[in-house]
Structure 1
Amino acid sequence: MLTRTTTALIAAALLALTGCSSEPEKATVTKSDATPEPAPTAPSPTPEPEQQTTFDVGETADINDAPNNVTFNATVIAYTQPVKGPQPPTSELGGDVWATVEAKVCNVKGETISVSQFPWSLDYEDGTRIKATGLSGGDMPKPEFPNDVMVKTDRCVRGKIPFAVPSGQRPARIVYAPDALDEPLEWTVPAK
């Protein structure tokens, strides 16, 4: 009798642990050309598989923002440094040469999304993080990535995002941190 009661209590505890979660749903990220992993033969002891957050330039991150009923993707197409701008960056911008990230964001399905330059930044090995300038117009490198635009389903936005950077350094990563993600996505900047 004690064995059956103990077994029933263990089964109830396991059901409670695996079936209840007060965590809100988060967006999930995968590489678009990733092959599906085979289904596990036994239930996994971990609640969620680790998501991919690091990519190479040219790779696309697929983002499933289930809480907001949106699936979109982001691609870093290129990183260029130095880039000819209208004039050298001012000291307020923090760098002495221009660099650009050419990026593309597509709304795959769901609600209309808003995109801008501001979730993008450059990350250096020494911990320095440089934000997008938000500048556009004039002689800035073309085509420009917009500062704030709505993107309907099956539409994309593509363009160059300007950064004022130090001429003697190169970033290690390009970071994309939209509100839909708990953890930012990173693209490794290739050596010159």
Structure 2
Amino acid sequence: MRTRTAAALLAAGLLALTGCSSEPEAVSVTKSDAKPEPAPTTPSPTPEPESQTSFAIGETADIDDKPNNVSFTATVIAYSQPVKGPQAPTEDLGGDVWATAEVKVCNVKGETFTVSQFPWSLAYEDGTRVEVTGLNGGDLPKPEFPTNDVSVKPDRCVRGKIPFPVQSDTRPQYIVYAPGSLDEPLEWTVPAT
């Protein structure tokens, strides 16, 4: 009889647990031999550092030109307006005084490359650009930055002044360096005075 009573109580208990409950199960726990999927191991991409294109006079731009296998620097050392020395530019050059940007370009490492005055210009707030004249020699301020292509070997620099014919009553906003190897031109802010 004990067996029947125990069985009856067990059956009644099971019926009570699984019986007519209208509430849904709140928690379901199961056991599985399956292992969880591992998290993806692909590292998230590291954002590229934003390249700097604007500088103050005296600051140096570090340029890593991977396609041409060269690392170099460019610096605008000084801007002067007006410049004493040469005779005032003629009207056809577009200015009534001379200004100079003293610049320096150094080959830090890699292949030999060439420099000249022609990638340099002055940019004004109204969008006007003043390009180099290509003039050299005579009374132009010394030392002159080369007008013709000059080779720069690794660990060497080229430094000099680039003359620009400008209007005496306005100053440029930027000195711009835009060699063909750069995607974006570099700019040095010209102080108001």
Partner of 1:185: 186
CA contact (8 A) 1:89 1:98 kept: yes
For residues 50 and 104 of structure 2, what CA distance do their matches in structure 1 show?
25
Query: Quick check: 1:109 aligned with 2:109?
Result: yes
Partner of 2:45: 43
* One-letter identity of the residue aligned with 1:157: V
Where in structure 1 do 4 or more consecutive aligned residues deviate above 4 Å? none
* One-letter identity of the residue aligned with 2:168: S
The structure that has the greater radius of gyration is: 2
Secondary structure of the corresponding residue to residue 82 of structure 2: strand
Q: How far is 1:86 from its partner?
A: 2.4
Partner of 1:95: 95
Q: How far is 1:128 from its partner?
A: 0.4
Partner of 1:120: 120
For residues 80 and 151 of structure 1, what CA distance do their matches in structure 2 show?
26
Deviation per residue, 1:148-177 (Å, 9 max, x gap): 211111110000000000110000000000
For residues 184 and 161 of structure 2, what CA distance do their matches in structure 1 show?
23
Query: Quick check: 1:138 aligned with 2:138?
Result: yes
Partner of 1:65: 65
Tell me, which stretches of 5 or more residues in structure 1 are unaligned? 1-6, 19-41
Partner of 2:177: 176
CA contact (8 A) 1:85 1:98 kept: no
Tell me, which stretches of 5 or more residues in structure 2 are unaligned? 1-36
Q: How far is 1:49 from its partner?
A: 3.1
| Matched length | 155
Partner of 1:161: 162
Deviation per residue, 1:97-129 (Å, 9 max, x gap): 000000000011111110000000000001101
Partner of 2:15: none
For residues 72 and 165 of structure 2, what CA distance do their matches in structure 1 show?
28
CA contact (8 A) 1:88 1:96 kept: yes
CA contact (8 A) 1:70 1:111 kept: yes
For residues 143 and 78 of structure 1, what CA distance do their matches in structure 2 show?
13
Deviation per residue, 1:10-46 (Å, 9 max, x gap): x7xxx8xx9xxxxxxxxxxxxxxxxxxxxxxx534x5
* One-letter identity of the residue aligned with 1:159: G
